[in-house]
A and B are shown apart, each in its own frame.
Chain A
Amino acid sequence: AQSVAQPEDQVNVAEGNPLTVKCTYSVSGNPYLFWYVQYPNRGLQFLLKYITGDNLVKGSYGFEAEFNKSQTSFHLKKPSALVSDSALYFCAVRDQYNDMRFGAGTRLTVKP
Chain B
Amino acid sequence: EAQVTQNPRYLITVTGKKLTVTCSQNMNHEYMSWYRQDPGLGLRQIYYSMNVEVTDKGDVPEGYKVSRKEKRNFPLILESPSPNQTSLYFCASSPWDSNNEQFFGPGTRLTVL
Chain A residues engaging chain B, CB cutoff 8 angstroms? 6, 9, 32, 34, 36, 41-46, 49, 51, 90, 92, 94-98, 100-105
Q: Which residues of B contact A102 (CB under 8 A)?
A: 35, 42-44
Number of A-B contacts (CB under 8 A): 55
Residues on B lying within 8 angstroms of A by beta carbon are 4, 31, 33, 35, 40-45, 48, 50, 90, 92, 96, 98-99, 101-107
List B contacts of A96 (CB < 8 A).
Answer: 98
CB contact under 8 A between A100 and B45, given known A32-B99, A43-B90: yes
Q: Is the interface of B mostly helix, strand, loop or mixed?
A: strand
Chain A: CB-nearest residue to B50: A98
Q: List 29 A-B contacts (CB under 8 A).
A: A6-B42, A9-B40, A41-B107, A42-B106, A42-B107, A43-B105, A43-B106, A44-B92, A44-B102, A44-B104, A46-B102, A49-B101, A90-B42, A94-B98, A94-B99, A96-B98, A97-B98, A98-B31, A98-B50, A98-B96, A98-B98, A100-B45, A100-B98, A100-B102, A101-B45, A103-B42, A104-B40, A104-B42, A105-B42
| Complex Cα gap A30–B46 (Å) | 24
A95 to B98, CA, bound (A): 7
A residues in contact with B43, CB < 8 Å: 44, 90, 92, 102
**Which residues from A are CB-within-8-Å of B90?**
43-44
Q: Point out the residues of chain A lying under 8 angstroms from B104, CB to CB.
A: 36, 43-45
Chain A minimum-CB-distance residue to B35: A102
B29 to chain A, nearest CB (A): 12
Quote the shortest CB–CB distance from A59 to chain B (angstroms).
Answer: 10
Give min CB distance, A51 to chain B, whole Å: 5
Residue of B nearest to A97 (CB): B98
A94 CA / B94 CA spacing, docked (Å): 12
